[in-house]
Amino acid sequence: MPVIRLSALLYPLLALMLSACSEPLPAQAEQAVVRRFDPSQYVGTWYEIARLDNRFEKGLEQVTANYSLEADGTLKVVNRGFSPDKNDWSEAIGKAKFVDPPNADGSRTGRLKVSFFGPFYGDYTLLDIDQPYYNYALVSSGRDYLWILSRTPQLTYPIKQHLMAKAKELGFATDQLLFIRQSNQVEYESGRHVMPQHH
């Protein structure tokens, strides 16, 4: 879930780094790719809980990713993060497309390609997702990129431990995970996945 500063030069750099320079997934992680998920349940805002640090998000906190479904079946991606050093927000807008055809039941596999600049696409792989509630997810873009995402700004310790243990089993350097400071706000939008609203 890379977030980059608004610079025309960084867009192709990001795409090239993710597509050409990132190491492939560890072999055991290839076997863990989510086989079925519902993209319509994945849309909305996700908070970055932890990541393997990378140059595109260096120094950023309060990082979020927002996904929305487009008419052509792709996902619009809006990543935001706050730089305390610059006292400014960064935003990157891209799109993600599915690699595999739909499953027979209309669900999709967790293998996507994401682009923030033209024809350059990098991997976006779902390795774990909380179903049926879609409250948290484990995402990678190759061996050197890993994110723990949540529908809320904080994630309980047992769930973090579960995701870290799984990531370690899959061959990721979980001892290098950086835990991201999120806003201390109380009135965040928890979303229908966390607090279903009945009308």
- In tens, the pLDDT along 73-106 reads 999 999 999 999 999 999 999 999 999 999 999 9
Q: What is the pLDDT of residues 113-162, one digit of tens each?
A: 999 877 889 999 999 999 999 999 999 999 999 999 999 999 999 999 99
As a whole number, mean pLDDT of residues 169-195 equals 72
Is the full-model pTM beyond 0.85?
A: no
What backbone torsions phi and psi does residue 111 show, to the nearest 5 degrees? -115, 110
Other C-beta atoms within 10 Å of 37: how many?
Answer: 19
Token pair for residue 37? 């998920």
* Alpha helix segments (H runs only) across the chain: 10-16, 27-30, 39-42, 157-169
CATH H-level, domain 10-179: superfamily: Calycin beta-barrel core domain (2.40.128.20)
Question: What 8-state DSSP symbol labels residue 121?
Answer: E
Amino acid 194: pLDDT: 43
- What's the Cα-to-Cα distance from 153 to each of 64, 70, 192, rounded to whole Å? 9, 26, 15
